Structure 1
Amino acid sequence: MSGLRLFHTTSGVAEVAPRLAEVEADVQDLVEAHMETMLGVRFLASEYSTGPVHGGRIDSLGLDENGAPVIVEYKRATDAGVIHQGLFYLSWLMDHRDEFQRLVRDRLGAEAAAGVLWRAPRLICVAGDFTRYDVHAVREHRRSIDLVRYRFYGEHHIGLETVASVTGHGLVSRTARRRRVTGLQRACTAGGAMAELVAAVDEVLLGLGDDITPVQRKQYRAYQRLRNFACVCPPQRAKLLVYLKADPGTVDLVPGFTRDVTGLGHHGTGDLEVQLRTERDLERAQDLFGLSYTAT
């Protein structure tokens, strides 16, 4: 991991040296077994065949928190071909939408299959390292691509670091992203106080880092790093509901402002609900936004 040093402190202090996997399958097996926790992606299939014409096998197929199709490709160390290989499979996937939706229906049910977000398919490359040429290359493609570096530490720890994360809608300046009219703003009365609050929340969430991709769904707007860290629902009854990945058990809950919604159905993802009615509420919520951002 770039610049990261890990120390064991049980008896004295000893550095835990990072290492690569013995074989690529060690990484793939671990990620597939815990894909939702590690990547925010529901696992669908491993070594999925693209058929005799294309003659390939997709390492992992999944569906992310917002319903976007995901291809995950793994490499033990640095491999210049991983991005091109993943893009080849991504093109295959877009040409075989019916096949993918049948897979989703078989694994996750009809509702998940009906909600597949085809406008934002993703490629996640997990590898021991990437070159600066890899990072430059993903910025030249009009696809959603995440480069994730891994390292094992000892026998019981693995670290994941997002090296680059690019949205699939081309390169858009941060200013332009913030000014773009969102589905949430369209749900508000033009010029109203709630519309201004929606715009302010969008500004604050996008301002937390350069690696954030907004994803618009009918029921909510997600703010995604590798995983969602915030979901904002359309205003209702003069309040804006924001769902965060922060652990409600670590937060002093305030009635009428924050609520633990673990196990309760709601749109978007996250177990901490934040209720915003005014700009002052937004100021109070900024530390919680930051907590959720760092947690993902």
Structure 2
Amino acid sequence: MGGVVSNLKLYSTNGGVTEVAPRLAEFEADVQSLVEANMEALLGVRFLASEYSTGPVHGGRIDSLGLDENGSPVIVEYKRGVDSGVINQGLFYLSWLMDHRAEFERLARDRLGATAAAQVLWSGPRLICVAGDFTRYDVHAVREHRRSIDLVRYRLFGNDLLGLETVASVSGRSPVTRRVRRQGTGPGGGGHGTALVELAQAVDESLLGLGDGVNYVQRKMYRAYQRLRNFACVCPPQRTKLLVYLKVDPKQVDLVPGFARDVTGLGHHGTGDLEVQLRTLRDVERAQDLFRMSYAAA
């Protein structure tokens, strides 16, 4: 039962070109400790708890609990190598979590404060499985579930390099849900002019079309498009424009007045330091490279 093998190779260019061989962690706990200590940077998830007990009746311990950028509860399960049981184990805990919402919200309140706890989004709880590898059967299995699941392969390189690769990412939504949404329930279907509705639908199609692993999360004030992490947040149309926030370093792009703006440190809905203002379908075409930059970095 072979894994889904990556062809990525890493080379050191210090004094010639030497391949840096990938390796697995010696122990599963080593992977867990590394991710938990850097969870927001690596997964876009705020850390809440480690080895969280589900009680004597349920009889289990969740490897990691967290809250993502959009307020969705997150369970993270780890395996050192390949283990076909990691998905079912995670789903088992996800079921427990849905039955213990008040307990999770208390945990979020204790660790992150009342505001974070009040904004927990229960419509899209997530399971992230971090393992040395996954089989093609694992990838097929997650696509059959009506849950948001990410399969993330890790590799260690040398003494201080970590590689993460998203093998599969599903939102748990059925194709019927997506078709209905595209007919007018997206980020432009609420009483705005026809031109803005069409503009919002064009942005939606563009962002979803960047790759197979793109999912979305709908919040009251924005819609987040994500792979493992958010890469774009689209706010409801204003009178004449649509605002999109991207995970792109504003210093790396030409900031054209009226089109792209640095909002680092400025409060706004959603996540991202680059604000893109869209008024026409031509603006959407102009923004394609920026969309792809943000997608690639997610």
Global fold match (TM > 0.5): yes
What CA deviation, in whole Å up to 9, does each residue of 1:216-248 have, x standing for no partner?
Answer: 110001111000100000111311100000111
Distance 2:158 2:64 in 1: 25
Secondary structure (helix, strand or coil) at the match of 1:186 reads: coil
1:78 and 1:281 map into 2 onto residues whose CA distance is 45
The partner residue of 1:216 within 205, 218, 222 is 218
Distance in structure 1 (CA, Å) of the matches to 2:178 and 2:117: 35
Q: Secondary structure at the match of 1:25?
A: helix
Residues 71-100 of structure 1 show CA distances to partners (whole Å, capped at 9, x for unaligned) of 000000001110111011000000000000
Aligned partner letter, 1:104: A
- Measure how far apart 1:176 and its partner are: 2.7
Amino acid at match of 2:162: I
2:227, 2:23 → 1: CA distance? 25
Report matched runs for 1:67-216 at 5 Å: 67-170=71-174, 172=175, 176=179, 179-189=182-192, 192-216=194-218
Give structure 2 stretches of 5+ with no counterpart: none
What is the alpha-carbon distance in structure 1 between the residues aligned to residue 95 and residue 45 of structure 2?
20
Q: Within the alignment, does 1:26 sit opposite 2:30 as a pair?
A: yes
- Residues 109, 143 of structure 1: CA spacing in aligned structure 2 closer, same or farther, 3 A cutoff? same
**Partner SS state of residue 187, structure 2:** helix
Alpha-carbon distance in structure 2 between the residues aligned to 1:206 and 1:136? 20
Task: Please say if residues 245 and 295 of structure 1, whose CA atoms lie closer than 8 Å, have aligned partners that are also in contact.
Answer: yes
Deviation (angstroms), 1:187: 2.7
Normalised TM-score (structure 2): 0.95
Displacement after TM superposition at 1:117 (Å): 0.7
Q: C-alpha separation between the residues in 1 aligned to 2:173 and 2:178?
A: 15
Alignment RMSD (CA, Å):
1.5
Q: What is the deviation of 1:180?
A: 4.3
| Partner SS state of residue 181, structure 1 | coil
* 3-state DSSP of counterpart to 1:70: strand
Structure 1 residue 186: Cα displacement: 2.1
* Structure 1 ranges of 4+ moved more than 3 A: none
Q: Does the CA-based 8 Å contact 2:192-2:237 persist in structure 1? A: no
| Equivalent runs, 1:217-236 vs 2, <5 Å | 217-236=219-238
Note the alpha carbon deviations across 1:141-187, whole angstroms, 9 max, x for none: 111110000000111111111111111223x2798377243342223
Correspondence for 1:37: 41
Shift of 1:115: 0.9
Tell me the SS of whatever aligns to 2:287.
helix
Which consecutive unaligned segments of at least 5 residues does structure 1 have?
Answer: none
- Given the superposition, is the C-alpha separation of residues 177 and 291 from structure 1 closer, same or farther in structure 2, using an over 3 Å criterion? farther
Partner of 2:275: 273
CA contact (8 A) 2:245 2:273 kept: yes
Q: Which residue of 2 aligns with 1:64?
A: 68
Task: Provide the TM-score with structure 1 as the length reference.
Answer: 0.96
- Following the alignment from structure 1 to structure 2, what is the Cα–Cα distance between the partners of residues 173 and 154? 46
